[in-house]
Amino acid sequence: MVDTTENFDAVVVGAGFGGMYMLHRLRGMGLTVRVYERGDGVGGTWYWNRYPGARCDLESMEYSYSFDDDLQQDWNWSEKYGTQPELLKYANHVADRFDLRRDIVFDTKVVSAHHDPDRNIWTLTTDTGGTATARQLILATGNLSTPQLPKIEGIANFTGRTFHTGLWPREGVNFNGRRVGIIGTGSSAVQAIPQVAEQALHLTVFQRTANFSIPAHHGPLDAITREAHKEKYNEIREAAYQTPFGIAKYGSPTQSAFDVSDEERQKTYEQAWKTGGQALLFCYTDLLTSRKANETAAEFVRQRIRETVKDPEVAELLCPKDHPIGTKRLCLDSFYFETYNRDNVRLVDVKETPVTKIDKNTVVVGDNVFEIDDLILATGFDAMTGAAKDIDIQNGTGENLAGHWAQGPQTYLGLMVAGFPNMYLITGPQSPGVKSQMILSIEHHVDLIARLIQKLHDEDLNSVVPAALAQDNWVSHNNEVANSTLYPAAASWYMGANIPGKPRIFMPYVGGVKQYRATCQDIIENGWRGFEFE
Ligand code: NAP
């Protein structure tokens, strides 16, 4: 039989923003690279999440690549927050500009990756029957890329159309004249609901947990603002590295919520509300560490909800009371709460009585039956670990990644996993990734991975892997940092709480981008402390 195995220096799984930049970097180092992508185009999150209203919750001038100055100077964002179509256009522009597609195999899912410790080689197989080997394996599989479909009795018998926000049909969906039901009120739903309500005959929202949402105050980006930003682009990027979340606009607050009078605090929140976006969370130092401080911001937002929603009962249902503000991803919206004033929108609480079953064209909640034509599942993702665990990754010495992570993810810096040589994660668990400006964190990790691979090459080394103790210490540190905040108080996807049976461990690193980058720098200056080279 002819061996059709293809051999590369590196294989990258995923052609989202992480995989694309990784390919570009490794190619620049003279390596042969193959990227596998399950979609038929680049863009990752922005390829899959095409639901109405989908847009980034970080401003486009910041949420973009910084690695190439000509790219950031040439590209013109048209809106304050990038829309999904514009972000996808940007991803395609980058792919064209850097001629990335020739090394990407689309419509192909990596099924397994097995390491051979004797040859120090990874062998990958794909769902199209392909096999490839590489010394370096980079998982650019994304943090929110494995859609979670709820296990509701009878869901398979639903006779209408069903859509998951993270698997939205490319051709779009027309809801004209349709009775639509949507399950979920997270960031995706909060963006989709106002748009679907505009079109549909009727929309029923099934809400399990009310969410905090802040107006985005979205709008066009005028040329003057854009050009002023571009003039200072590098300065602004540098400033972002010095902030907790890698967002230049949101620097470190300097005072406690109780250093100021009630009136002053109210004014500050009002100003943040007018600014929109995540600004509110950056008003005071203790909003994410003190329940009392947090409650001042939470109550401020609840008051805005009560002012906006005309029906007091509906307003009260929409007021989040079971988690501190900011401990679940703060949603950004355009007229979300206002939508509940429409005659064609109904809110159904499914906290006390969950969705009992779905049958033919109905959603049943206890004794109440709701007839619908279309069902939207805005039910989120198996976040942070789902995509990597979906691949059968074996290290050749008796361990697989899913088993290694059975009690929750364990990584060193969110970058590598002990026992899995030459395998790298881009913004993996226990890195700031999802708690930061993602593209900034992606670029940081890609640069670290490129430096490690360059070191192997320069020093004629075979492999790099984190020491088990270094990993244990990093995991403990991650947990300590999280436990010093309010984050673990919410049953969030950060905690794995949205997936039945998933270990409840706070997954992102919340010590901040500035601290994380300083730690990485210190590790490098100390001979890549915690990494073992062979
Ligand atoms: P999500 O935040 O996990 O929200 C899922 C929603 O579905 C929650 O309201 C959840 O309720 C509900 N749900 C799940 N299973 C259910 C069931 N069986 N019955 C009733 N309700 C159920 O997912 P997402 O909205 O897709 O957002 C995920 C993350 O993606 C966001 O946090 C954000 O980081 C990112 N995102 C960003 C943007 C943006 O940049 N603007 C937009 C969309 C998404 P519970 O809360 O009770 O579990």
Residue of 188, 195, 204, 499 to test ligand 1 pocket, by largest number of atoms within 8 Å of CB: 188
CA atoms within 13 A on the CB side of 437: 30
498 CB under 6 A from ligand 1?
Answer: yes
DSSP code, position 167: G
Rounded to two decimals, what is the model's pTM?
0.97
The alpha carbon of 185 and the centre of ligand 1 are apart by a number of angstroms equal to 6
Q: How far is the CA of 209 from the centre of ligand 1 (A)?
A: 10
pLDDT level of residue 296 (50, 70, 90 thresholds): very high
Q: Which two tokens stand for residue 66?
A: 């910084």
DSSP assignment, residue 444? H
Delimiting residues of CATH 3.50.50.60 domain(s) in the chain: 6-146+382-533
State if residue 439 touches ligand 1 by the CB under 6 angstroms criterion.
no
Q: Strands of 437-503 (E only): list them.
A: 464-466
Q: Is the CB of 448 under 6 A from ligand 1?
A: no
pLDDT for position 277: 87
Ligand 1 centroid to 286 CA: how many Å? 26
Ligand 1 center to 332 CA (angstroms): 13
Residue nearest atom 10 in ligand 1 by C-alpha distance: 184
pLDDT at 1: 64
- Backbone Cα Rg of the chain: 23
- The three-state secondary structure class of 138 is strand
Q: Best substitution site from 193, 382, 498 to test ligand 1's pocket, by max atoms within 8 Å of Cβ? A: 498
Instruction: Decide whether any atom of ligand 1 lies within 6 Å of the 332 Cβ.
Output: yes
Find all residues with CB under 8 Å of 349, minimum gap 6, and list them. 207, 317
Query: Per-residue pLDDT tens for 474-517?
Result: 999 999 999 999 999 999 999 999 999 999 999 999 999 999 99
DSSP string, 213-236: EEE----B--HHHHHHHHHTHHHH
**pLDDT higher than 70, residue 389:** yes
**Cα(40)–Cα(108) distance, rounded to whole angstroms?**
8
**Are 63 and 278 contacting, i.e. CB atoms less than 8 angstroms apart?**
no
Closest atom, ligand 1, to C-alpha of 165: 26
CB of 286 shorter than 6 A to ligand 1: no
Q: Does residue 329's CB lie within 6 angstroms of at least one atom of ligand 1?
A: yes
Give the tokens for residue 437: 């400006």
Q: Are 12 and 33 in contact (CB under 8 A)?
A: yes
Residue 358 Cα to ligand 1 midpoint, Å, equals: 20
pLDDT tens figures, 62-72: 999 999 999 99
Ligand 1 atom closest to 377 (CA) = 7
CA 379 to ligand 1 center in whole angstroms: 5
Q: Are strands 362-365 and 355-359 parallel, antiparallel or unpaired?
A: antiparallel
**Mean pLDDT, range 342-366, rounded to an integer:** 96
C-alpha 321/C-alpha 210 separation (Å) is: 8
**Helix H or strand E segment including 238:** helix 233-241
pLDDT digits (tens, 9 = 90+) for 221-276: 999 999 999 999 999 999 999 999 999 999 899 999 999 999 999 999 999 999 99
Q: Which of 329, 492, 507 to mutate to test the pocket of ligand 1 (most atoms within 8 A of CB)?
A: 329
Q: What is the pLDDT of residues 98-114, one digit of tens each?
A: 999 999 999 999 999 99
Burial status of residue 306 (CB atoms within 10 A of its CB: 0-12, 13-18, 19 or more): middle
pLDDT digits (tens, 9 = 90+) for 119-177: 999 999 999 999 999 999 999 999 999 999 999 999 999 999 999 999 999 999 999 99
Over residues 290-303, the mean pLDDT reads 98
Q: What's 6-146+382-533's CATH class? A: alpha beta
pLDDT band at 3 (very low <50, low <70, confident <90, very high): confident
Structure tokens at 244: 């907790």
Residue 375's alpha-carbon distances to 164, 183, 203, 241, in angstroms, are 9, 8, 10, 42
Ligand 1, atom 26, residue with closest C-alpha = 380
Q: Provide the 10 A C-beta neighbour count for residue 78.
A: 14
Ligand 1 atom at minimal distance to the Cα of residue 189: 25
Q: How many whole angstroms from 153 Cα to the centroid of ligand 1?
A: 20
Q: Please check whether residue 13 is in contact with residue 22, taking contact to mean a CB–CB distance below 8 angstroms.
A: no
Distance CA(204)–CA(146), nearest Å, equals: 25
Is residue 47 within 8 Å of residue 172, measured between CB atoms? no
What confidence tens digit (pLDDT) does each residue in 402-412 have?
A: 999 999 999 99
Question: How many whole angstroms separate alpha carbon 4 and alpha carbon 325?
Answer: 54
